[in-house]
């Protein structure tokens, strides 16, 4: 299943929104954290996990989704939230901990919930998998349209929730797709040091569902495989496991010294950046002119600056509200 030019433009624009937003967030994150790095200070308090490099996974999959389809994402959620159509202003306000944020400022960047497009994420590894299976089950029981997609890291594939979720999804033939973003590292632990087999898509066999491996972090190849999996889920064919070999261009979180990376890995990965790759491919195919690209970048930056301004101007929640809408 090959994307049309419009679908490629959509993927390029969404990758650029995510990337350029994260570049701005990384700058703002450091405000108030110099010369002494205190995670709690500055306009963006708390941890910050950037997804730059992993954007193809989000756009290749979400290009096939509608607002009523469910997505559960991870602690590294920005690229997926953008591609699922989460409101940018309220997303950035949540990242700033403001009252106008998606979770009223209670959650921060790992807890972006947008029911209008059925998007959620969690800081707990593999935690989105059970809810995605539940969402798929509810759609099946109610005979409602819609699929669920659960994104996870390769580290999450060693959690019990992974195995429980795949088993039930297959047993009940649910409309759910599991997408592993394999960036080869779980914090500082390599996949080779944590996982008994070289590739997680093989685990699909144990649960009686199709499993696919997509190499090279290529949005078009991801679009192809995800399109078939999502179409199968929509037409009653049951779940699929997709493993994508991707890479994060930055550290596990902001402030990570990345001492665990082999020499030259960062530079080698940066040279394979998927966003300029798609841009150059489209230009070579006559699908994109420099002026088209400039117009896209301008549109992205305007939306990003507007969202940042909205977040900066928004009030913090009042202390009296702190215990509302939470488990105490
Ligand atoms: C249940 C649970 N255990 C441990 C952690 C701490 N932790 C946060 S991110 C992370 C690594 C996750 O690796 P992976 O799933 O590969 O995702 P990546 O960070 O590479 O995107 C860990 C262990 C957590 N958040 N939740």
Residue ranges of domains in the chain, CATH in brackets: 5-313 (3.40.50.970)
Q: How far is the CA of 143 from the centre of ligand 1 (A)?
A: 34
117: how many CB neighbours lie within 10 A of its CB? 18
Apex 167 CA angle, 164 and 172, nearest 5 = 125
124 CB under 6 A from ligand 1? yes
Please report the pLDDT score of residue 287 as a whole number.
98
Which residues is 182 bridged to in the sheet?
A: 245
**Ligand 1 proximity of 151 Cβ (cutoff 6 Å):** no
Residue 58 has pLDDT above 80, yes or no: yes
> For residue 145, is it left (φ>0), alpha (ψ between -120 and 50) or beta?
beta
Atom of ligand 1 nearest to the CA of 186: 13
Ligand 1 midpoint to CA 155 (Å): 6
pLDDT tens for each residue of 96-151: 999 999 999 999 999 999 999 999 999 999 999 999 999 999 999 999 999 999 99
- Ligand 1 centre to CA of 232 (Å) is 30
> Which DSSP state fits 114?
B
Ligand 1 proximity of 79 Cβ (cutoff 6 Å) = no
* 212 CA distance to ligand 1 middle (Å): 23
Read off the pTM. Answer: 0.98
The model's confidence at residue 326, banded by pLDDT at 50, 70 and 90, is confident
What is the percent of the chain with per-residue pLDDT over 70, rounded to a whole number? 100
pLDDT tens-digit readout, 221-278: 999 999 999 999 999 999 999 999 999 999 999 999 999 999 999 999 999 999 999 9
Average pLDDT, the chain: 97
Q: Which atom of ligand 1 is nearest to the CA of 182?
A: 16
Taking CA atoms, 25 is separated from 16, 212, 312, in Å, by 14, 33, 12
**Confidence at residue 137, expressed as pLDDT on a 0 to 100 scale:** 98
């Amino acid at each position: 299943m090959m994307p049309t030019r419009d679908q490629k433009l959509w993927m390029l624009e969404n990758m650029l929104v995510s990337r350029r937003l994260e570049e701005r967030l990384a700058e703002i994150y450091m405000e108030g954290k110099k010369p002494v790095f205190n995670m709690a200070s500055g306009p963006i308090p708390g941890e910050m996990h950037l997804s730059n490099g992993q954007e193809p996974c989000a756009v290749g999959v979400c290009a096939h989704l509608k607002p009523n389809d469910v997505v559960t994402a991870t602690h590294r959620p920005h690229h997926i939230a953008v591609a699922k159509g989460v409101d940018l202003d309220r997303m950035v306000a949540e990242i700033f901990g403001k009252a106008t944020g998606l979770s009223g400022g209670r959650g921060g960047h790992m807890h972006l919930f947008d029911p209008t497009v059925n998007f959620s994420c969690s800081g707990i590894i593999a935690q989105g998998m059970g809810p995605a299976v539940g969402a798929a089950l509810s759609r099946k029981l109610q005979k409602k349209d819609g699929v669920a997609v659960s994104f996870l890291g390769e580290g999450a594939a060693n959690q019990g929730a992974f195995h429980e979720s795949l088993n039930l999804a297959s047993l009940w033939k649910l409309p759910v797709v599991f997408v592993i973003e394999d960036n080869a590292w779980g914090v500082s632990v390599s996949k080779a040091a944590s996982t008994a087999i070289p590739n997680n898509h093989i685990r699909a066999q144990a649960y009686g569902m199709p499993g696919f491996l997509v190499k090279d972090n290529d949005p078009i190849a991801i679009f192809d495989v995800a399109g078939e999996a999502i179409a199968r889920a929509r037409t009653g064919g049951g779940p699929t496991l997709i493993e994508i070999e991707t890479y994060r261009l930055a550290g596990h979180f902001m402030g990570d010294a990345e001492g665990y990376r082999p020499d030259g890995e960062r530079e080698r990965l940066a040279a394979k950046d998927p966003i300029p790759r798609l841009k150059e491919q489209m230009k070579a195919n006559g699908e994109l002119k420099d002026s088209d690209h400039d117009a896209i970048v301008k549109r992205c930056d305007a939306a990003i600056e507007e969202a940042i301004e909205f977040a900066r101007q928004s009030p913090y929640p009042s202390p009296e509200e702190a215990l509302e809408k939470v488990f105490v």
